[in-house]
Amino acid sequence: MKSRPPALPAPSRPGWHSGEELRATKHSQVYDYQVLFSKTIAAYRIRPREHRIWNLVRALLLAALALDAGHNAQALPPADLLEDGFSVYDRVLQYGYPARLRLAPYLRAAGVDYPPQTVVLVAFKWEMRLELYAGNSPDDLKFIRYYNVLAASGSVGPKLREGDRQVPEGIYRFTQLNPNSSFHLSLKVDYPNAFDRMMGNVENRRNLGGGIFIHGGSESAGCLAMSNSVAEEIFTLVAQSGLENASIILSPVDLRREAAPTPLEHDVPVWTPHLYAIIQRALCALPPSRVDTRLHAIGPTSTIQ
């Protein structure tokens, strides 16, 4: 007889900020629950802010899953929600199934499982492009697809201080998934990282800024706005792969194909070429992307899918 997967662990509240618990969503029973939850919400047009109805639907489906799995319902996620918001787990239930369907053809073509073990995002500021790489192991990354960045303020060159409206440049991790973002959904980047802080100390820059996100919507000030549907794909993918298994490279241009640019600002620090060399090495370690670079001359909003 086929053994049953272990019960899904109860999430921490108010959200899941590491991937350890969400990784259990690989099990087929939980995936079936995601499908049923998403279809129920869509069929009855339940709005996310209708908390009581939302909670009731979730509680009923959790009970059904518990009975089917033969597990104690106490081992499953609690059915209650915060009155003023949702957990990461709730957003995965809400958006995970349709987001997975959208990503499935790309992952299948690359031979990568869902959710992958490793996720790497690469953003090019000048090209206004975000590339997605994923793999069944950290040493087996594949190019999956790319997205257009709808909005990103500033110009090429690293972020130096609070209020400069620059998107950072460097190699970063994600520190938080925000299921209640003002911009639909968001992923927080760990700027300033160790390199940023070290350079800030050398140059006696104290207020380096922060609060850098990849988020939905179409407006941004120092962040990357990706549209709501793209934010759903990235948010749920990183949530289910594990926050600790995801990273992002923020680059001025595609340094695999183009020379490092000369930043437009006059106060760009002398260590910028060194930073670009670090970014270039990280980019060259990735597999080739399938992006038609001829479109770069047309403009950052041009696409070829």
**pLDDT (mean) for 180-185:** 95
Share of the chain above pLDDT 90, in %: 59
Query: Above 60 in pLDDT, residue 141?
Result: yes
**pLDDT (mean) for 202-213:** 95
Ordered domains of the chain (ranges, CATH): 19-102 (no CATH), 112-297 (2.40.440.10)
Instruction: Indicate the range of 1-5, 118-122, 229-233 predicted with least confidence.
Output: 1-5
Residue 90 to residue 161: CA distance in whole angstroms:
35
Q: What is the pLDDT of residue 86?
A: 87
Q: Which ranges of 44-163 does DSSP label H, i.e. alpha helix?
A: 51-69, 88-110
Query: How confident is the prediction for the chain on average, in pLDDT?
Result: 79
Query: Above 80 in pLDDT, residue 181?
Result: yes
Q: What is the pLDDT of residues 64-80, one digit of tens each?
A: 555 554 443 333 344 34
Q: What is the pLDDT of residues 251-302, one digit of tens each?
A: 999 999 988 877 666 578 999 999 999 999 999 999 998 775 443 333 333 3
Neighbour order of strands in the sheet with 224-225 = 141-148, 129-135, 118-124, 246-251, 170-181, 184-189, 213-215, 224-225
